[in-house]
Amino acid sequence: MIRVAHSHGGWRRGNDARRGAGAAAAAAVTIALALLPDVAQAYVITIASGSRAIFLQIGAGGYNAPSNQGGTPANNTTINTVSVTIAAADVGSGTSREMTSNSTVAQSPIDGFAYCNPPAQVYIGAWSRTNGNNNATLTVTTPASLTSGTSTIPFSQIRWTMSGNGDTVFQFPDGTFNGGTQSLGTISPNTWEEQCMTFTYFNSTIPAAGTYTGRAVYTLSLP
Amino acid sequence: MSPRRSRRLAAAASLLVSLTGGALLLWPALVRADSRFETGTASPTKASAHLDFTIIVPNVAFLRLGTGGALPGSSPTLSVTTIDATGATGTRTAPAGSLISARVVGNAGSLSLSAAAFGRGWSRFVVAADHGAAVHMLEHPSLVDDASSARVLPVTRGRITELDANWTYSLAPTAPRKTGGLRPLPADEPGPTRLIYSLSMP
C-alpha cells in the first residue's frame, strides 16, 4: 500500500474540490488530513517515503482499489487505443477532429474520484517513491508516423490537451507529438501526479485511404 | 470550486466512509490500459506504459468542375460554360466563357475520368488544358460524338491523386477536305449539347 501523506502529516490536493471527499475517505483509512487554503495550485499528492518504487499508468492501470482505500499497484498489460474515423467529406479538410478511446476509466486511483471523462479522455498518472532527492522524469516517445502498409500519417498530426475534473492547474503540459521523445515533466520525490489526456487529430493532409496505427510509449524513469 | 461538484463529492465521501470495509466493491472492473509498477535499486528504474493510436481514412474520390473548394467535402459551384459552335469551320480562338476549372482528388490509387458526350460535333472540339500554378495537370478525356471516352488518371504521390486544370474548349480548325479533314456540320444534324463527366475509383 502507498500511504498518502502530506509533509505535515496529512494529504492534499491543492485547490481541488476533491479535497473534501478525500478528507472523509482518508479518515476512513487512517490517513490524516491537512486542509489547505483555497488557492490555485496543482493537484499533487505527497506520499510517504519508503523503499524505492515507481508507478506509471496510462488508462486504468493495475490498482485493485483506490490507494486511499488500501489499493495496491500492479502491472497491467492491456493497452488502450485512441482512435478517430474521418468522414469521407472531411478528409484533409483542416478541421481538427477530437479522438476517442476505448478506455472507460474515470476514477482516479488515488481516491476513486471521477476525475476523467472517458471515452474522450485517457488517464495518465505517475508516482515515484524514493529515500533520495532524485526527480523522476516522464517522457513520451512516438515513431515518426502512423502507418497503413506503406502509407503514413505523421504523428505530428496528433496533439493532446491535459485536463481533469475540478483541476485548474495541471502538472503535465499540452503538446503535439513530434515523432521522437518528448518530456512531459518531472515527478518530485515521493509525489503522485495525474491528469486526463484528450487527443485531437489535425486532419490537415489528405492521406491515402487506410487504417493507420501507431504506438506512443510513456516512460517514467527514476535515476 | 464549483458548488455542484462539491455536493457530488460530499455524497461520495459519505459513501466511502460507510463502506470502508468493502472498498474493493466500489472499484469497477474496468477496461484496463497499460500500467507498470517497478521496484528495486536499479538506476535508473524505469516503467513504461503504452497507448495505441488509430486513424481510419476512407476512400475519397472528388471531382470539381467550376469554382469552389479544393478538397473533398467542399461545395463546388458548377459552372455553365458556353461554347460557341457556330460556324462549322471552327476557330482556335476560345470564345469567352468556354473555360472551366477542373480538379480531381483521390486517395486510393489511380482514377478514371470519363466524358460522355451527347450530340454530334464533339469530335470537332479540342480541349486545351492549363494547370496554372498547380503541380499536376488534369488532362481532358477525348471527346467522341455521342459516346463516352475515359482517361486513366495517374497517382501523384503514393496512392494520392491530385490534379488540376483549366480546360478551354474550342473548335478544331477545319482541315483541308482533301486530307480527310472536318467538314461543316449539316444544318439538320444535331449539334453537341452536353458533356457529363464521371470520376470512378477501381
Three cell numbers, residue A48:
510517504
Residue B92 banded pLDDT, cuts 50, 70, 90: very low
For residue A177, being part of any structural domain is answered with yes
Spatial separation of the C-alpha atoms in residues A194 and A42, rounded to whole Å: 10
Count of A-B CB contacts under 8 Å = 294
Instruction: Give me the pLDDT at residue A81, please.
Output: 97
What's the per-residue H, E or C state across chain A?
CCCECCCCCCECCCCCCHHHHHHHHHHHCCCCECCCCCCCCCCEEEECCCCCEEEEEECCCCCCCCHHHCCCCCCECCCCEEEEECCHHHCCCCCCEECEECCCCCECCCCCCECCCCCCEEEEEEEEECCCCCCEEEEEECCCEEEECCEEEEHHHEEEEEECCCCCCCCCCCEECCCCEEEEEEECCCEEEEEEEEEEECCCCCCCCEEEEEEEEEEEEEC
Please state the rounded mean pLDDT for residues B12-32: 33
Mean pLDDT of A23-44: 40
A83 neighbourhood in chain B, CB within 8 Å: 53-56
Is-contact A66 A111, C-beta < 8 A?
Answer: yes
Q: Give the Cα separation of A185 and A200 in Å (integer).
A: 21
Assess if residue A7 is contained within a domain.
no
Q: What is the largest CA-CA distance in chain A?
A: 58
- pLDDT for residue B150: 95
Neighbours of A185 (CB within 10 A): 17
**Widest distance between CA atoms in chain B:** 106
Whether the CB-CB separation of B85 and B94 falls below 8 Å is answered with: no
The answer to whether A28 contacts B20, with C-beta atoms less than 8 Å apart, is yes
In the numeric block, the cell 495541471 is attached to A170
Does A39 lie at the interface with B, CB-CB under 8 angstroms?
A: no
C-beta atoms of A112 and B27 within 8 A: yes
Query: What confidence tens digit (pLDDT) does each residue in A58-102 have?
Result: 987 788 889 888 888 888 888 999 999 999 989 999 999 999 999
- Beta bridge partner(s), residue B66: B78
- State the average pLDDT over residues A138-153: 97
Within a domain: A213:
yes
B129-172 pLDDT, tens digit each: 888 877 899 999 998 888 999 999 999 999 999 999 999 887 76
CATH number at residue A176: 2.60.40
CA distance linking residue B20 with residue B10, whole number of Å? 16
Q: How far is CA A162 from CA A116, B36, B103, in A?
A: 10, 21, 40
Identify the bridge partners of residue B145 per DSSP, sorted by sequence position.
none
DSSP label at B22? G
> Looking at the domain assignment, is residue A201 inside a domain?
yes
Residue A31: the pLDDT is 30
SS3 B153: strand
Residue A105 lies in a domain: yes
Has this prediction a pTM greater than 0.80? Answer: no
Q: Which of A67, A80, A108, A110 is the best residue to mutate to test the B interface, defined by the most B CB atoms within 10 Å of its own CB?
A: A80
Between CA A82 and CA B193 the distance in angstroms is: 52
Contact, A201 vs B55, CB < 8 A?
A: yes
- What percent of chain A lies above the pLDDT cut of 70? 80
Domain boundaries defined on chain B: 61-66+82-183+190-200
Contact of A218 with A82, CB cutoff 8 Å: no
Q: What are phi and psi of B179, to 5 degrees?
A: -100, 15
Residue A71 in any domain: the answer is yes
Chain A from 104 to 123: CB within 8 A of any B CB: 104-105, 107, 112-114, 122-123
**Would you call the peptide bond into B173 cis, given omega within 30 degrees of 0 as the criterion?**
no
Amino acid at position B37, single letter: F
* Containing structural domain, residue A86: 50-221
Q: How far apart are CA B197 and CA A199, in angstroms?
A: 40
**Residue A135 domain flag:** yes
Please count the structural domains in chain A.
1
Is A30 contained in some domain?
no
Cell representation of residue B1 = 470550486
